[in-house]
A = this chain, B = another copy of it.
Amino acid sequence: MNTRRDFLHKLTASAIALPVLSAFNSQEKKYAPAKKYDGPVLRVAICGLGSYGTRVADAMRDCKQAKLVGAVSGTPSKLTDWQSKYGIPAKNCYNYETLDEIKNNPDIDAVYVTTPNSLHKPLILRVAKTGKHAISEKPMAVNAKDAQDMVDACKKAGVKLLVGYRMHFEPKTLEVIRMRKAGEMGKILFFQGLTGFRIGDPTQWRLNKQLAGGGSMMDIGIYAINGARYMVGEDPIWVTAQETKTDHEKFKEGVDETITFQFGFPSGAQASCLSSYNMNNLDKFFLNGEKGWAEMVPSTGYGPIKGRTNKGELDFPHVTHQTVQMEEFSAILLQGKQPPVPVDGEEGVKDMKIIDAIYAAVKSGKKEKLNL
């Protein structure tokens, strides 16, 4: 049986390890190997040492502008494992009782929360109080209200809040966005995002409403939602959605199996998307404009993104998304750099408002208006 891990690993299998990469060079439209870096380094603690936390930690080995220096976990053995595996000093390790003491640790700049979804909010609220910058994996919360609370708390505490939108730094994705912005596709008319896979182990937290906050929409659907926004370049003004559940045992009340959803945008463009925990691997974006188009398959997997446009194949080299994300997060948090597509809390709130509206549209069976 497929698992999410299998799925994402498969997409990664052909990834080529590249030398450490510096920021995206929009003029050359290439990621160029970093020159010797002597700027500020973001010192990061990861909170939640599960499979995604481990993926980020591994990716950070190649970072020059960011460094993994700390860890937070409720499982003592994980903390000792990480100390040896990633060279993390014991003094930078915390559990959920001691987490708040990070405020007294001058060697940590930011805490990246990679726990199950519903824990993002309480943990980010605690991180904000430590005065450290907060990074939340996406979805940043399980609904828009919680997400807004996180934004407000970080603002009040005077810390920055970023969300792990790794695709916002992916070179092929950025090239499509550049083409769209430059008008090379003409007026944008239609976006399609299909994201799905067959989820395995029924006991995992992703199928637990209390921890995940929902089902496939909270895991893989958010890629199509966020993708619709950065590909079309607008925020939707309405949403319709239809749910199908074929396995009520595996996908309990409040855990969505398959949802199709549609967006209308101010310009008149439409989007048609799918999120599913019960499909063969689906990872397709299609953007259609009056003068051009882009097709990306895979479009959001961890491995190399592949795509072509009306101009031909997208031939940018693969970069490990989490490596580049953390390099860029360093530049944003420490040097005030503006990312090509927003990655802040407000960006996350928008996606959560859309998810709320999708779930509402499934229930109402009607078009739900959005005001983002």
In whole angstroms, what is the CA distance A190 to B278 when docked? Answer: 10
Known A260-B270, A272-B274; contact A279-B244, beta-carbon cutoff 8 A: no
Take A189-B258, A189-B276 as given contacts and tell me if A268 and B240 are in contact as well, using a CB distance cutoff of 8 Å: no
Is A365 close to B, CB under 8 A? yes
How far does the alpha carbon of A269 sit from the alpha carbon of B257 in the complex, in Å? Answer: 12
Cβ contact within 8 Å between B258 and A260: no
Provide the A177-204 mask, 1 if CB < 8 A to any CB of B, else 0: 0000000000001101010001000000
Task: State in angstroms the CA–CA spacing of A269 and B246 once bound together.
Answer: 9
Determine if A246 and B270 form an interchain contact, defined as CB atoms under 8 angstroms apart: no
Check if A264 is an interface residue, CB within 8 A of chain B: yes
Q: Produce 1/0 per residue, A253-274, CB < 8 A to B.
A: 0000010101010011110101
State whether A264 touches B244 (Cβ < 8 A).
yes
The docked-state distance in angstroms from the alpha carbon of A198 to that of B237 is 25
CA distance A280 to B292 in the complex (A): 8
Partner of A290, one of B267, B280, B289: B280
Asked if A288 is an interface residue, CB under 8 A from chain B, the answer is: yes
Q: Which residues of B lie under 8 Å from residue A244 when comparing CB positions?
A: 264, 268-270
A280 to B291, alpha carbons, bound, how many Å?
A: 7
**In whole angstroms, what is the CA distance A36 to B59 when docked?**
68
Identical chains in the assembly = 2
Tally of contact residues, A, Cβ under 8 A: 34
Question: In this assembly, does A282 line the interface, its C-beta being within 8 Å of a C-beta of chain B?
Answer: yes
Which residue of the partner chain B has the closest CB to A189? B279
Residues of chain B within 8 A of A289, CB atoms compared: 280
Chain B residue with Cβ nearest A186: B280
Q: Which residues of B contact A279 (CB under 8 A)?
A: 189-190, 288
Query: Which A residues are within 8 Å of any B CB, using their own CB?
Result: 189-190, 192, 194, 198, 240, 242, 244-246, 258, 260, 262, 264, 267-270, 272, 274, 276, 278-280, 282, 288-293, 365-367
Known: A242-B264, A246-B268. 7 other contacts (CB 8 A): A190-B274, A192-B192, A244-B269, A246-B267, A262-B262, A278-B290, A280-B293
Q: Pick the 9 closest A-B CB pairs, nearest first.
A: A246-B268, A365-B367, A260-B272, A244-B268, A244-B270, A260-B262, A365-B366, A242-B262, A272-B272
Question: Would you mind naming 20 contact pairs between A and B with Cβ atoms under 8 Å apart?
Answer: A189-B278, A190-B258, A190-B282, A192-B192, A198-B290, A240-B240, A240-B242, A242-B262, A242-B270, A245-B268, A260-B272, A272-B272, A278-B290, A280-B288, A280-B290, A280-B292, A280-B293, A282-B288, A365-B366, A366-B366
